[in-house]
Amino acid sequence: MTLVIGLTGGIASGKSTVANMCKEQGITVIDADMESRDVVEPGEKAYDQIIEHFGKGILLADGTINRAKLGEIIFNNKEERMVLNGIVHPAVRERMNAKKEAAAARNEAILIMDIPLLFESKLTNLVDRSLLVYVDETTQLKRLMERNQYSEQEAISRIQSQMPLKEKRILSDRVIDNSGTPEQTRVQLYRILKEWGFEEKKED
C-alpha cells in the first residue's frame, strides 16, 4: 500500500523547497500544476474539449492554448470557470491516479502529490494525509519580496488573495513550520515521513 501525501502551502511558504527535499530522498513527487499544464497540450482530450467550448480564439499562433487569455475569461465568470474546471480537473485526476498506480506497482511506501490548492479546490479526497508547509506572515512576506522582486504592496496583495496559512493549519493533518532554517525544516519533514512509514536514506 502506498500512502499518498498531499503537500500544500501558500505562496513562498516553502512548498517547492520541501518537495525537493522529498525528491532527494528518492520519493516520487507528482506536481499538480505541471499535470494541469500537460493535460491541455495539443493532442490531449481536454485540449479538444476546451476549443469546442471556448472557440479557436483562445489559441496562440502555434496552436497551443493561450493560458493567459483563458485565465482572463474565467477570472470574472463563475460559469465559465466551472466549465473549464469540469474539463481540466477530471483529466488531471486521471493522470495523477495513473502515476499513483505506477508508484504503488513499484511498492513505494509513500508518494507526494504537490497540490497548491489542495483545500481551496477540495482535493483532499485524492490523498490519504495532508501536509502543510507553513511560515509566519513576516517571513512569508520577506521571502516572497526577495524571490519575486515584488514591492511590499505587490507581495501583500498576492498573499491576501489566498486562503490564510493559519486557516490551512487547521485543515492539515500535519504542519511543517518553515520559518526557521532549511535544516530545521528537513528535521521536521523526516520526522513526519518516518511516522508515516518512510525510512530515510542513509549517507554511506
Binding site residue list:
12-17
82 contacts 169 by C-beta, under 8 angstroms: no
Cell numbers linked to 56: 479557436
Q: Which of 143, 155, 172, 189 binds ligand ADP (CB under 6 A)?
A: 143
Closest by CA to 30, choosing from 61, 6, 48, 54, is: 6
CB-nearer residue toward ligand ADP: 91 or 123? 123
Provide, rounded to whole angstroms, the least separation between the CB of residue 40 and ligand ADP. 22
Round to whole Å and give the CA distance between 119 and 169: 11
Give least dist CB 127 to ligand ADP, A.
18
Smallest separation (angstroms) from ligand ADP to the CB of 81? 23
Strands (E), 11-147: 28-31, 110-114, 129-134
Q: What is the DSSP letter of 14?
A: S
CA atoms within 13 A on the CB side of 77: 11
Nearer to ligand ADP, 16 or 66 (CB): 16
Establish if 164 lies at the interface with ligand ADP (CB under 6 A). no
Residues annotated within the binding site for ATP are 12-17
Q: What residues numbered 169-188 form the site for ligand ADP, per CB under 6 A?
A: 178, 181-182, 185
Q: At CA 132, angle to CA 129 and CA 134, rounded to 5?
A: 165
Q: Does 8 bind ligand ADP (CB under 6 A)?
A: no
Residues 50, 192: Cα–Cα separation, whole Å: 40
Q: Which stretch binds ligand ADP (CB under 6 A): 12-20, 39-47, 74-82, 121-129?
A: 12-20
Applying CB under 6 A, the residues found at the interface with ligand ADP are 9, 11-17, 143, 147, 178, 181-182, 185
